[in-house]
Chain A
Amino acid sequence: MRLSPSFNRSLWVFHFNSGSCNGCDIEIVCALTPRYDPERFGIKLVGSPRHADVLLVTGPVVHDMADRLRRVYAQMPNPKVVMCIGTCGQSGGVFFDSYNLDGPVGDVIPVDIYVPGCAPRPEAIIDGVVKAIALLERLEEKK
């Protein structure tokens, strides 16, 4: 895989919790800490969606958060990639029959990459981010 062009500008991710159990959120933070250390490649968590290239969504999208998720997605600049982390964002997972779900994530915003697992391991999340880089490169070329 050709890593250079996107890495030149570094990949910044924004994390959105749409009602998760915290399991995936913690694994995301774990994936950013020294054991795995993707910051050496420029992958960094940022505080605003306006700075981000990749949106990491965790959780099954509860009713209260659906509109906020749409707004956060709209605030991100193009080209952007959405990653859905965790089984409950893909299908509802254990929460599949809840009355308060507007999700899964794919029903609310378009998702490019799914990382399954409940919770996925940090390695799996990093693997997903690598796929996101490839996708961003393709999007960039199309422009």
Chain B
Amino acid sequence: MSNKPVYTIPIGPIHPALKEPILFTFDIQGEVINAVDFAPGKVHRGVEWMGMRRNPVQIVHLCDRICGICGVSHTLAFARAVEQIAEIEVPERAHYVRSIIAEFERIQSHLLWAGVAAHELGFDTLFHLAWRVREEAMDVIEYLTGNRINYGIVQVGGVRRDFTEDQFPRIRKALETYEGLVNKLVTLFLEDTTIKLRCMNTGVLTEKDALELCTVGPTARASGLKMDVRADAPYAAYGDIDVKAILPDVYADCIKGDVYDRIVVRLFEVVDSVRIIRDLMDQMPAWPVLWETRYAKILSTCKKAEGEAIGRVEAPRGECFHYVRMNGSEAPQQWKVKASTYSNQMSWLKILQGEQIADIPIIVASIDPCMSCTDRVTVIRDGSPDVMTKDTLHRLSVEKTRRLQA
């Protein structure tokens, strides 16, 4: 084994196994991966920079487009931060509308992921099935918000559309569809021999590593870390209902932290989301849904606001974190977005090591990476990207803090 030569294989940025542009470099010995490196930043659009030149009402639409899959999570986190700074009281019902949409987003995102995972395993029938049942959630999202992607429903101070009573039967129908599908999906994904063979004991992330690498969301929960922002620091309407972090032991008897456990967590989160939506619908208070309907008033309130705040939201992929600082001008003085994949991506280095080449796609996909969420910083000088060392980054961050404090 050890006298085999080591080959370096680049994969990406455009590669059929990757859904988004990112460059991996693998050191391969025989069939086994020795070391991994990756270079993100291929979809960097400078969202934060643009945001610091726009006002909060415009930024919510930019937030939607940070990521097309978990748009509402980013917008919600940003809106929460701004609402805290400007001391805007969000009406009760708006919290419920936000949470219901966020849960539908979780359902569609997890089913999307389940399909992609099946595709990466070469199980295309299951991929098509998962995407077909996902359409039900997309239909409801479209029915409620008017758009399939980038819903644009969250606004600073509330939501832009209310749900009416006559829309509830359609929502309930979708929930019933999913309740009826659960057993089928569990059988297809979790009892399938091929999936078991390919996913069990592959890409193992131990609990200790998961903690040390600061993973979040389903990736962390699959390794046994009990963390879920909805339960730990309830936002929107999650304080009123019962939310628990889903760990793989709901299905298996022990927690291994492998790819299989990540499938378990995501599938059972879909089940839990259905229950949460039901609970939320039962308790929905009466309207209004917007703190203020006139944009001019929202804008002038935001313009007067001074201070800093953070917004934390449990996105389908894990914690999504927005930091906003306003200094009494139209645009925020500082806006920082930390998406869940940013925390999760470092675990690739651990979980890919020692695995086979053929397992690369499924292991990479298993943390449900979303590069468009993540790519916030890229350094380009004379057209060539610079590599930043830890020391430089630290120095820059100290300098920036000083600048902000001055």
A-to-B contact residues, CB < 8 Å: 16-27, 29-30, 33-35, 47-48, 59-60, 62-65, 68, 72, 88, 93-95, 97-101, 118-119, 121
Contact = CB atoms under 8 A, between A and B. Distances in A.
B67 interface: yes
A17 B13 CA distance: 10
Contact of B112 (A21, A26, A60, A99): A26
A128 to B, nearest CB: 16
Contact of A59 (B43, B67, B385): B43
Contact of B50 (A23, A98, A119): A98
B13 A99 contact: no
A62 B41 CA distance: 10
Interface in B324-355: none
A101 B67 CA distance: 17
B68 A25 contact: yes
A65 B150 contact: no
Interface of B: 13-14, 16, 19-21, 41-47, 49-50, 53, 61-62, 65-69, 71, 112, 115, 127-129, 131-132, 135, 138, 148-150, 370, 372, 378, 380, 385
A68 B13 contact: yes
A63 B131 CA distance: 32
Given A21-B372, A64-B44, A119 B49 contact: no
B132 A34 contact: yes
Contacts of A59: 43
B21 A65 contact: yes
Given A62-B43, A95-B65, 7 more contacts: A19-B44, A26-B112, A33-B135, A62-B44, A93-B65, A98-B46, A98-B47
A95 B45 contact: yes
Nearest to B373: A22
A63 B44 CA distance: 8
A33 B128 contact: yes
Given A23-B150, A33-B132, A64-B41, A98 B13 contact: no
A48 B65 CA distance: 28
A118 B138 CA distance: 15
Given A21-B67, A22-B69, A100-B44, A29 B131 contact: yes
A98 B49 contact: yes
Contacts of B68: 20-26, 119
A121 B142 CA distance: 11
The 7 A-B residue pairs with the shortest CB-CB distance, nearest first, are: A23-B68, A47-B16, A33-B131, A22-B68, A23-B149, A19-B43, A119-B149
A115 to B, nearest CB: 14
A27 B149 contact: yes
Given A17-B21, A29-B131, A101 B43 contact: no
A95 B13 CA distance: 21
B386 to A, nearest CB: 13
Contact of A64 (B46, B129, B378): B378
